[in-house]
Amino acid sequence: MTDRAFAVVRAGALTTVQDEGRPGHAHLGVPRSGALDRPAAALVNRLVGNPAGAAVLETTLNGCALRPRCDVTVAVGGAPCRVTVDGRAVAWGTPVRVPAGALLEVGPAVSGVRGYVALGGGVAVEPVLGSRSTDLLSGLGPPPLTDGAVLPLGAAPVAPARVDTVPQPGPPRELILRVTPGPRTDWFTATALRTLTTRAYRVSSASNRIGLRTDGPPLERAVSGELPSEGMVLGAIQVPPDGRPVVFLADHPTTGGYPVVGVVRERDLAAAAQAVPGTVVRFVGVGGWPGARGG
């Protein structure tokens, strides 16, 4: 009888356990968390026959290396990278059988930022408020992976993967983020609203799971007062005093005191998770954005 678990040989820069997060607790100050590139995480789960809500590993830029203690089917997706089993190259984005004791190496991202590693049965750490996600803002969920750690796996899925390989979108050369107005669009000058949607911003290296930070022309406020704390949503573009927009990602705080100029459409956020620092960001006003046509 083999042990349904895997050992972490090389944790990488930042590898966390992620699933669909823990929505429904924002009123207690609990961020939603969960995989940043949701479609990529769902896809690798599907490839190994896991349910969509199974926990996967989310790597950051330089991959990770694992040694399963049982035979297990794995699939690597998200940011494209070289994948090897005991040194032999295997296919990325495809279910791969890894024998017990073999070394699975997920290489550095060739492009993009976040890789997703699904293992048959899912990572079976103890859930917290219904989720196994690591939340880097509040510290809920398991800690990021460390070298030598051993993590449990769930029971192998009964249903085998029905797809062998599927196309995955490449990481964006230019990040297009569609923005709907509100709730505090009117706290900014008309010039600032034009600046946001016409000038190029770049992904800042200070970005993380909490927010995609940008470098670019600062947004000038029309209202200078202090905003009492209010609820925040995924994709909210918060503008701190330095005027540089921050797009809230999965680990965002549940309340905040800086005005939100607009909200990025949820389906554009997967690409935001894969945009490397320096990527050009274009915010496109939709849904009645002041001065924008159509929607």
Nearer of residues 18 and 168 to other proteins, judged by Cβ: 18
Which of these segments, 53-61, 73-81, 156-164, 178-186, binds other proteins (CB under 8 A)? 178-186
Query: Which of 10, 194, 202, 265 touches other proteins (CB under 8 A)?
Result: 265
* DSSP character at residue 34: -
Query: Which of 174, 229, 291, 295 touches other proteins (CB under 8 A)?
Result: 229
Query: Which of 1, 28, 158, 159 touches other proteins (CB under 8 A)?
Result: 28
Q: Does 128 bind other proteins (CB under 8 A)?
A: yes
| 129-168: contacts with other proteins (CB under 8 A) | 129, 138-140
How many chain residues bind other proteins (CB under 8 A)?
36
Q: Does 277 bind other proteins (CB under 8 A)?
A: no
Query: Which of 21, 80, 112, 235 touches other proteins (CB under 8 A)?
Result: 235
Query: Which of 152, 183, 240, 290 touches other proteins (CB under 8 A)?
Result: 183
The values of phi and psi at residue 263, to 5°, are -130, 130
Please name every residue paired with 10 in a beta bridge, in sequence order, or none if there are none. 65
Query: Which of 7, 10, 23, 280 touches other proteins (CB under 8 A)?
Result: 23
Q: Does 27 bind other proteins (CB under 8 A)?
A: yes
Residue 191 CA to residue 120 CA, distance in Å, equals 52
Nearer of residues 67 and 178 to other proteins, judged by Cβ: 178
Residue 193 CA to residue 203 CA, distance in Å, equals 19
Nearer of residues 34 and 63 to other proteins, judged by Cβ: 34
- Describe the strand order of the beta sheet including 96-98 as a list of residue ranges: 16-18, 56-60, 114-119, 72-78, 96-98
For the chain, the C-alpha Rg in angstroms (whole number) is 20
Which of these segments, 76-84, 87-95, 163-171, 228-236, binds other proteins (CB under 8 A)? 228-236
The least CB distance from residue 191 to other proteins, in Å, is 22
The least CB distance from residue 80 to other proteins, in Å, is 30
Which x/- pattern, by CB under 8 A, does the window 76-115 give for other proteins?
----------------------------------------
- Which residues sit at the interface with other proteins, rule CB under 8 A? 23-30, 128-129, 138-140, 180-184, 228-236, 253-255, 260, 263-266, 287
